[in-house]
Amino acid sequence: MGASWLACRAAEAYKQLAETLKGKELIEALKEMRRVVPAINRSMASLYNVSLSMPITGEPSVVKAKAEEFLKLAEEMKTEIGNIGSELIEPDDVVITHSFSSTVFEILRTAKEKGKSFRVILTESSPDYEGLALAGELLKLGVPFEIITDAQLGLFAREATMALVGADSITRDGAVVNKAGTYPLAILCHEEGVPFYSAAESYKIHPVMSSKEVEIEERPYSRGGYGIRNYLFDVTPWKFVRGIITELGILVPPREI
């Protein structure tokens, strides 16, 4: 699951906390949560921002209201990103994407709802194969697509008219932190003259972390008895990104971040 999903689960955890504790116990728990939640995955600005937005107070009603507000705004943000991003898709466009982003899916879903004709090239996104999950959702929508192996990005990027990926974080200097494989896609799109966009709610913009400070998690992985290096994310420099599609509009990095 991605950064949007985890941020909402974190907000639900705060809501549950407010329904369980009060007074000094709640204050101490909230202080602990402010340390623990961002540490779940330090590459995800959403976890940092949701924890930072929660007040340290002994009043359960205040915490619960703030958590509910976040959940409501998160849904509204995604809808608005769908509306804004879908306007970038022109008739007969070919959209290439990597991994499964709920914001990217919302853009594609909204474009389909508006009656736009387009097709999608999506990577299988190994080793967790998020691309196959996206394929299943596109199948339900009736959006034509083809799945490629990650190694074939260089062959298929030239067929695309635009690239659209999600983001787990946008650093303060405008870099996109996303599923490993995003950076190579951005470079290939740059070489082929294909505009590269990232879609992200504004709570994925990290207020302090720069691209050089991103901590990328490496998960143990093996196949055929061999250990394989498996970093979960990579960092795409701002110079390869045409724009960040947010609920506030399309931001041009790094100036508008």
Tokens 């736009």 belong to which residue? 116
Instruction: State pLDDT tens for residues 171-219.
Output: 999 999 999 999 999 999 999 999 999 999 999 999 999 999 998 989 9
| Buried b / exposed e along 185-197 (16+ C-beta atoms within 10 A) | bbbbbbeeebebb
Question: What tokens does 36 get?
Answer: 């623990």
Q: Beta-strand (E) ranges in 91-137?
A: 93-97, 118-123
pTM score: 0.94
Cα 245 from Cα 232, distance rounded (Å): 22
168 is catalytic: yes
Query: Using omega within 30 degrees of 0 as the cis cutoff, is the peptide bond preceding 254 cis?
Result: yes
Judge whether 162 and 89 are in contact, CB under 8 Å. yes
Average pLDDT over residues 127-153: 97
Q: Is 241 helix (H, G, I), strand (E, B) or coil?
A: coil
Instruction: State pLDDT tens for residues 37-90.
Output: 999 988 889 999 999 999 999 999 999 999 999 999 999 999 999 999 999 999
Cα 48 from Cα 37, distance rounded (Å): 7
Judge whether 206 and 153 are in contact, CB under 8 Å. no
- Active-site annotation holder among 92, 150, 168, 173: 168
- Using CB atoms within 10 A of its CB, is residue 131 exposed (0-12), middle (13-18) or buried (19+)? buried
Cα 146 from Cα 68, distance rounded (Å): 38
Judge whether 58 and 27 are in contact, CB under 8 Å. yes
- Ordered by start, the domain boundaries in the chain are 3-78, 82-251
Question: How confident is the prediction for the chain on average, in pLDDT?
Answer: 96
Average pLDDT over residues 129-145: 97
Average pLDDT over residues 147-152: 97
Structural class in CATH, domain 3-78: mainly alpha
Q: Is 121 helix (H, G, I), strand (E, B) or coil?
A: strand
What's the distance, Cα to Cα, between the start and end of the chain in Å? Answer: 25
Tell me which CATH code domain 82-251 carries: 3.40.50.10470
